[in-house]
Amino acid sequence: MNRYNTTKIIKNQKGISRKSTTIYPTIPIDLQTDIYIRTTTIERLDKLALQFYNDASWWWVLAMANGLGKGTIIVPSNTKLRIPSNDSALELLTKLNNER
């Protein structure tokens, strides 16, 4: 899922279209569905997203849930990561951007 799919397209006064700012949700902890892992080697968020969500473009869900990804998608070894369910992340992103 492309993280910009739920971003609205807006037009300026001249009729030129552009995407509005994408708002990323805070992904709440769900003890029923969240998975926790500890990396044993240096990992990449996109590869972890591919492993857990079957879609490398979901790297931003892992970044948002764990406060990572500011300038890099590299995850150091021995890092505890929360893997939220893809349903809750998609639902929050869609709701947040559609309500603006």
Quote the pLDDT of residue 77.
95
Residue 81's nearest CA partner among 56, 61, 57 is 61
Burial class (CB in 10 A: 0-12, 13-18, 19+), 84: buried
Over range 43-71, report the average pLDDT.
88
Residue 78 pLDDT exceeds 70 = yes
The fraction of the chain above a pLDDT of 90, given in percent, is 31
Please tell me whether the overall predicted TM-score, pTM, comes out greater than 0.75 for this model: no
Residues 6+ apart with CB under 8 A from 78: 38, 39, 40
